[in-house]
Amino acid sequence: MARMAGRRALFAVPVLLVVTFAVFAVAAASPFDPVKAYAGTAGLTASQENLDQLRANLGVDQPLAERWWTWLTSALTGDLGDSSVMRQPVADVIAERIGWSALLAATAFAVAILLGTALGVLAARRRGGWLDRSVSSAAYTLEAAPAFWLGLLAIWFFALELGVLPAGGLTDTASETVTFAQVASHLVLPALVLGVSQLPWFFLYVRQGVADALDEDPVRGARARGLNERTVLLGHALRSGMLPMLTLIGSRVPELITGALLVETVFSWPGIAAATVQAATSVDFPLLAALTVLATAAVLLGNLLSDLLYGLADPRVGFDG
C-alpha cells in the first residue's frame, strides 16, 4: 500500500511538469492578450506606448520555454510569483481562497457519497418499487440539469419563496466577522446544490452494483444459510456493490472542480474557482500554473484514494496491480 502510494507520488513529478508546461504552451497559443486583460477597460483609451510599456513590465514578451523555466525554478524555491490579474502575490491569492473551496467541495462530496450510497442501497433492495422509480428518474433528470440552473432554482425556492436560507455569500452580507454559525448556514445551499449535482453518479453506480450483487451466488448462498437481510445487504451486497463506486470517487474529482466553479459564481462563494477562470482568460501565467498544479494534484490524489479504497474493500485486488 505504501509502495503504491510512493510509486504514484514519483510518477506525479513528470506528470506535473508536463501539465504545467502544457498550460504555458496553451496559454501562449491562446488568442488572449495578457496586456489587454491586465489593462481592462483602461486599455481601450490607453496609448500604444503605454501598452508597450506594460508588456515589458509584465514580462510577457519572453519566449515560452524561458517563461516556464523562470516560473518553475522560482516556484521550487517557494516563490510562486505575482498574479497580474489580482495584483497580489499568487501565494496570497490561493491562501485567501482555497480553504473555502476545499470546505465547499468536501461537504458537497460527502453529501453526494453518503446520500447517493444510502439511496442506491434502498433502491436496489426493491427494484421497480416506488422509491427506486422516483429516485432513478430524478437522478437521470439531475444528470442533465446544469449545476448553475440548480443553483438559481435553489435560491428562488429556499431564499425567496421560503426565506429560510441565505441566498449567497460566506456570511450575512452586512456582517463583517466570519462565525461558524454563519458559514454553516451559508454553506447549506451551495454544498447541497453541488452535492446533489454529483449525486446521480454515485446513486446509479451503487444501485446497479448492489442489485447485481444481490443476484450473485455469494449473496444467494448467504441468504440460503439463513443470515438476516441486514447482514446480507450491508455485509455482502453493499461490499461488492461499492467497488465500482470507489473507482468513481477519483474520477469525479475533475467534475467536482468544474461544478464548484459554477456554484461558486452563483452563490458569490469566495473560493478559488472564480480566480481560475479569471486567470485563464487573462493569461495570468503564474496564477494559472499554480492553480493547475493544485487541480492536477487533486485529481492524482483522487485516483490514488479510489485505488486505495478499492484495495481495502476488496482484498483480492492487490495494491501493486
Site residues for another protein, window 5-24 (CB under 8 A)? 5-6, 9-10, 12-13, 16
CB-based contacts of 278, cutoff 8 Å, min separation 6? 85, 86, 284
Q: Is 46 in the site for another protein (CB under 8 A)?
A: yes
Indicate the pairing of strand 88-89 with strand 82-83: antiparallel
Among 60, 122, 170, 213, binds another protein (CB under 8 A): 170
Region of 109-117, 127-135, 175-183, 211-219 interacting with another protein (CB under 8 A): 175-183
Compute how many other C-beta atoms are within 10 angstroms of the C-beta atom of residue 126.
Answer: 11
238-251 and 90-125 are packed helices; what angle lies between their axes, rounded to 10 degrees? 150
Query: Restricting to residues 80-99, which ones interact with another protein according to CB under 8 A?
Result: 82-89, 93, 96-99
Report the site for another protein in 204-243 (rule: CB under 8 A).
none
Report if residue 295 touches another protein, rule: CB under 8 A. Answer: no
Nearer to another protein, 51 or 64 (CB): 51
Residue selected from 70, 247, 268, 303 as contacting another protein according to rule CB under 8 A: 268
Instruction: Establish if 254 lies at the interface with another protein (CB under 8 A).
Output: no
Piece in contact with another protein (CB under 8 A), picked from 31-39, 64-72, 211-219, 234-242: 31-39
Using CB under 8 A, pick the residue from 131, 142, 243, 274 that binds another protein: 274
Q: Which is nearer to another protein, 103 or 243 (CB)?
A: 103
Q: Min. distance of Cβ 72 from another protein in angstroms?
A: 13
Among 28, 168, 308, 309, binds another protein (CB under 8 A): 168
Q: How far is CA 293 from CA 17, 135, 180, 250, 276, in A?
A: 9, 37, 30, 17, 12
Does position 70 bind another protein by CB under 8 A?
Answer: no
Among positions 182, 208, 247, 303, the unique one binding another protein when judged by CB under 8 A:
182
With 0-12 CB in 10 A as exposed, 13-18 as middle and 19+ as buried, what is 138?
middle
Contact segment (CB under 8 A) with another protein among 134-142, 151-159, 215-223, 227-235 equals: 151-159
Spatial contact of 82 and 229, defined as CB atoms under 8 Å apart = no
Site membership for another protein, residue 291 (CB under 8 A): no
User: Which is closer to another protein, CB of 33 or CB of 143?
Assistant: 33
Does residue 164 bind another protein (CB under 8 A)?
no
Per-residue DSSP letters for 34-47? Answer: HHHHHHGGGGGT--
Q: Residue 280 CB, nearest distance to another protein (Å)?
A: 13
Q: Which residues are within 8 A (CB) of 259 and not within 5 positions of it... i.e. 6 or more apart?
A: 108, 147, 194, 197, 198
User: Which of 23, 135, 275, 291 is close enough to bind another protein by CB under 8 A?
Assistant: 275
Closest distance to another protein from the beta carbon of 120 (Å):
27
156 binds another protein, rule: CB under 8 A: yes
- Give the Cα separation of 30 and 44 in Å (integer): 21
Other residues' Cβ atoms within 10 Å of the Cβ of residue 179:
11
For position 76 contacting another protein by CB under 8 A, the verdict is: no
Choose one: 1-9, 108-116, 201-209, 244-252; the region binding another protein (CB under 8 A): 1-9
Find where cell 458537497 sits. Answer: 108
Euclidean distance between CA atoms 113 and 58, whole angstroms: 44
**CA quadruple 262, 265, 268, 271: dihedral positive or negative?**
positive
Q: How far apart, in whole angstroms, are the C-alpha atoms of residue 102 and residue 292?
A: 15
